[in-house]
Structure 1
């Protein structure tokens, strides 16, 4: 087999990139003219082998995509990658692309969203929430992930999102709908704590702490040593995301749990894709996680909302895949350039923080 037919990075999958023994060998492999720099053509050849699908087929990045990556990884902004910059790539960029730590985040697969007060089958999209169960269970049975996270809506009985509580709260003067006129599923604006204006969709009472509706569905496989995140516990602010409440006033423990386990990638599934899955995925990207949404393991509420939120997630950098594609991705045989770009963003951000700390030191 000719050298150009061999994918150099296949041998580096799951490598410990803190060991720099292979760094110079890798650099020299792509530095064809031996000038100590990776120019545009050499970096393009690197990308062709770094980002592959079905073991050998490249994703064929555009010139603009490659330039965007160089811009992030090229500290001295000369348009080329030198050895010092390549060492940063080796330790941090390649580590995320070729040796990721992955978490499956299972969002709100609870009784109320499948058979209870907010069963998806009764929503405008008429999707069946229980259809995610066999897909998620199969992924869990294959034991593919380094970490498994279950999230739950865990609301107090006086929660702000419940239509039944609307008359017990102060409507903000700017709200287009006042309390006496509000109907189920309307969006109103409440006068929240600390002068906040909380825009809130009014839902039926659901997932009340300690009730059957808040429990994970009995047919969902529960694995040992999983992380469980309860959200929406503040009666005055809703929390669609598993990371933050809707007003970004307080975090759950999810980031802390993922950091403790050195997670780089999150694979998000569950209910509902246009609400809690979407908010969790978008916050995941914002926190720097390479974020994948498993398309056949999500269901949603409203067709227009599903379409809009999926576009927003894709625009933010989320990758949508089928569950059948997940094993190759976790084994780094299928390496998406969108996820490589997020990894490069993370490296550039970390370098800026490092430089700022150096400048600020005495």
Structure 2
């Protein structure tokens, strides 16, 4: 069980919950069962004061698009903000770009991030546009301005964009709880590695929202 003070300000973060990361778009970056997280994302948002989200938004001309000569996951050399080749995904105007059916419209979120728009940018985390974490997307500032204490995180995929977003939020000083029912991973091996990295940085994990306990702090009531 994970305890949260009832007076804490909570945000729910839907990281890249897009069709391109599900079996609905098998030619992009399908995450097994990625399309099954909608209910869990919506449920965690019911507990939150703010709901924020992000999308990959990539041009067809991106320099990191995999090819026969540069297969997916091959490292890219000499680029500051694209570290490896990937299948083309999340192109605006395509089905893969869209949020999973059942999630709110983008403009119904309290704050939303589009990332990777430039051809040479392929960030993973939703808090910064660059891999060095120097160009803020504004979501950290949004959460701080609203005195957020705790962020419940889900989305796709746990072992890449969710992991990096969690690490960025932790580094910014938020308490971060990863809702495992609201996320999925590409592989079991990378999931184990990602969870170890997040846990070492201070992230907490729940298998479902049933493991959250809300309690009052007597010191705050005094």
Q: TM > 0.5 between the two?
A: yes
- SS of 2:93's equivalent? coil
Partner of 1:238 in structure 2?
122
Q: Does residue 320 of structure 1 match 2:205? A: yes
Cα contact 2:59–2:118 (8 A) shared by 1: yes
TM superposition shift of 1:287: 0.4
TM superposition shift of 1:216: 0.6
CA distance in 2, matches of 1:306, 1:54: 21
TM-score (norm 1): 0.54
CA distance in 2, matches of 1:302, 1:54: 26
Q: Does residue 229 of structure 1 match 2:113? A: yes
Deviations 1:163-205 (A, max 9, x none): 15xxxxxxxxxxxxxxx8422232222x23xxx4x56221111
- SS of 1:201's equivalent? coil
Cα contact 1:231–1:239 (8 A) shared by 2: yes
- SS of 1:288's equivalent? coil
CA distance in 2, matches of 1:289, 1:158: 36
CA distance in 2, matches of 1:313, 1:273: 10
Q: Which sits farther off after the overlay, 152-161 or 100-109?
A: 152-161
Partner of 2:9 in structure 1?
101
Partner of 1:144 in structure 2?
47
Which one of 140, 148, 153 corresponds to residue 268 of structure 1? 153
Partner of 2:71 in structure 1?
183
- SS of 1:137's equivalent? helix
Evaluate the alpha carbon distance shift between residue 326 and residue 108 of structure 1 in structure 2; reply closer, same or farther with a 3 A threshold: farther
**Gaps (5+ residues) in structure 1?**
1-52, 56-95, 122-126, 165-179, 335-362
- SS of 1:325's equivalent? helix
- SS of 2:17's equivalent? coil
- SS of 2:8's equivalent? coil
Q: How many residues are paired up?
A: 213
Which ranges of 4 or more aligned residues in structure 1 deviate by more than 4 Å? none
Which one of 141, 144, 149 corresponds to residue 256 of structure 1? 141
Looking at both structures, which has the greater relative contact order when contacts are Cα pairs under 8 Å and sequence separation is at least 6? Answer: 2
TM superposition shift of 1:220: 2.4
TM superposition shift of 1:211: 2.6
Q: Does residue 203 of structure 1 match 2:106? A: no
- SS of 2:179's equivalent? strand
TM superposition shift of 1:273: 0.2
- SS of 2:151's equivalent? strand
TM superposition shift of 1:158: 1.9
**Gaps (5+ residues) in structure 2?**
218-222
Deviations 1:84-142 (A, max 9, x none): xxxxxxxxxxxx95632110001111111121133435xxxxx21012122223334xx
Structure with a larger share of its residues in helix:
1
TM superposition shift of 1:144: 1.3
- Cα RMSD over matched residues? 2.5
TM superposition shift of 1:154: 1.1
CA distance in 2, matches of 1:288, 1:131: 30
TM-score (norm 2): 0.85
Cα contact 1:111–1:213 (8 A) shared by 2: yes
Cα contact 1:101–1:265 (8 A) shared by 2: yes
Q: Does residue 120 of structure 1 match 2:30? A: yes
Which structure has the larger Rg over C-alpha atoms? 1
- SS of 2:102's equivalent? coil
Cα contact 2:2–2:211 (8 A) shared by 1: no
CA distance in 1, matches of 2:121, 2:2: 45
Cα contact 1:139–1:323 (8 A) shared by 2: no
Partner of 1:307 in structure 2?
192
